Structure 1
Amino acid sequence: MQTLSKPSTQIPALANKVAIVTGGARGLGAATCRCLAEAGLKVVVADLRHELASELAQEIESATGQSGQAIALDLDVTSPASAMALLDQVRDRYGRIDVLINNAGIDITESIEDLTTDQWQQVIGVNLSGPFFMSKAVFPEMRQNGGGHIINIVSTAAKRAWANASAYHASKWGLLGFSQALHVEGRPHNIKVTSLIAGGMRTPFLLDRFPDIDQTTLQDPANVAETIRYLLTQPQGTVISEMMVLPMKETSWP
């Protein structure tokens, strides 16, 4: 009887890889930092909120019992200079960058008539320009190292629209297009790029703005963090270029 041979795929080891998580101090960013550190990655908690980022890094190191498993670094994703400064610090500390999670994001809930120009530019700056600046900073480093993985946290807002979120929708639709273009550029250099389209989560991003929201329709950010870890474990010759992860009671999709 003929037996089926196992596919000759190589699952990448995550231990000691270096991951930058923007907006890493709380919400999905914090859940991702914890999850990746548990998987053995060295995590850079990159955030403007230095105190929160430092507390999380200390928590991770205490939980893992390993010094250097997590560090907190200041980052303003809207600043190309800040992105490059972060890259220099990570390179000096770890010598390489393997993973970039572009997670930092904001929204301003206003109608088009009430949304100011400054508010528009703020949302676009964080949600769209930020991933561009960070990807541009790490891309040459990853190419020189023979590969890497960039995961952009998109949203169901890149697939449909609702009122009073024009800047947010524009930024997330733009981020999805940017991710797809970066995927094409990265493939020849073994740089994987994934658009992770996440549905509503029980994070401050929603709960602070909508305290009366039905939390049973939202998912635990730890579940989305586990999806990020799953994306990083795909065989060397495979990339999941786009994935959607939703709570079972998702109200924004479809």
Structure 2
Amino acid sequence: MAEPIHGLAGKSVLITGAASGLGAALARSLAAAGADIAVADIRQHHAEAVAGSLREAGARAHAIGLDVGDPGSAKRAVRETLDAFGRLDVLVNNAGTDVTLPIDELGADDWLRVINTNLNGPFLLSKFAATHMRRAAGQAGGGQGGGGGGGHIVNVCSTAAKRAWPNASAYHASKWGLLGLSHALHAELRQYGIKVTAVVAGGMRTPFLLERFPGLDPASLQDPAHVAEAIKAVLLLPESVVAEITVLPLQESSWP
């Protein structure tokens, strides 16, 4: 492992959707910076594989099978992270899904599944994580004014939270909602020393995008590791909070 960066050494990070794509890239990046990683994904065997590779590289890692939209599962994931590492400093709401269909073909179950994963999940996990972070901030002498520092919540949004294209109504609704939720939590939780950041990420070379849109030119997309590095930079800021950051590939086609 690379020499741990002081700002993340000993910190505990729970990442959802961490078995592939941006989540896996972020797990590797933050582990290399010294963080303990809870690798959470609905595909637990894939989460186990990622956690195993992190441990082989010298990091502390724990795999969690997680359905983010299920309240009991979300609460258990926070508790399991605390049990594994004794603390929870950072929550990254990264898990996402989509059903790419015109609205007349989009079933009610499809709509609900996308909203449940992309919006309800971040709400639930933020709710349970913030309860712990507020308590930890109070114990550290934080509270009103945020002097103690109570943790950091990162919500991975998308350029889909800023503009729209056809056949993605559920995805756009969920991501616009997530961006609003993120800014609302920023306004609400900063008094407790809890930072909240929305990451508006442009197109990435991940299966999530390339499998749905095989006509995309991978060269026009960004490596998810670059987005992971941007998130890490935000986490390393000692005092300031970045409420929103936009990370785009140089040839981004979904953003001006």
TM-score by length of 2: 0.92
Q: What residue in structure 2 maps to residue 241 of structure 1?
A: 243
2:215 is the alignment partner of 1:221: no
> Runs of at least 4 residues of structure 1 off by over 3 A?
none
Describe how 1:1-254 pairs up with structure 2 within 5 A: 13-63=7-57, 65-66=58-59, 69-146=60-137, 147-236=150-239, 238-254=240-256
Give, in whole Å, the separation in 2 of the partners of 1:127 and 1:109: 14
SS in 2 for 1:96: coil
Q: Which runs of 5+ in 1 are unaligned?
A: 1-10
How far the C-alpha of 1:182 sits from its partner, in A, is 0.2
Are the equivalent residues in 1 in contact too, given 2:62–2:84 (CA < 8 A)? Answer: no
Are the equivalent residues in 2 in contact too, given 1:123–1:168 (CA < 8 A)? Answer: yes
Which structure would you say has the larger RCO, counting Cα contacts within 8 Å and 6 or more residues apart? 1
How far the C-alpha of 1:235 sits from its partner, in A, is 2.0
* Amino acid paired to 2:199: L
How far the C-alpha of 1:211 sits from its partner, in A, is 2.1
* Amino acid paired to 1:225: A
Give, in whole Å, the separation in 2 of the partners of 1:52 and 1:200: 23
Aligned-residue CA RMSD (Å) = 1.1
How far the C-alpha of 1:212 sits from its partner, in A, is 2.5
Identity of aligned residues (%): 55
TM-score by length of 1: 0.93
Q: Which runs of 5+ in 2 are unaligned?
A: 138-149
Per-residue CA deviation, residues 28-72 of structure 1 (Å, 9 max, x unaligned), is 000000000000000000011111111111111112x24xx1111
Give, in whole Å, the separation in 1 of the partners of 2:211 and 2:225: 18
Give, in whole Å, the separation in 1 of the partners of 2:95 and 2:251: 25
How far the C-alpha of 1:12 sits from its partner, in A, is 7.0
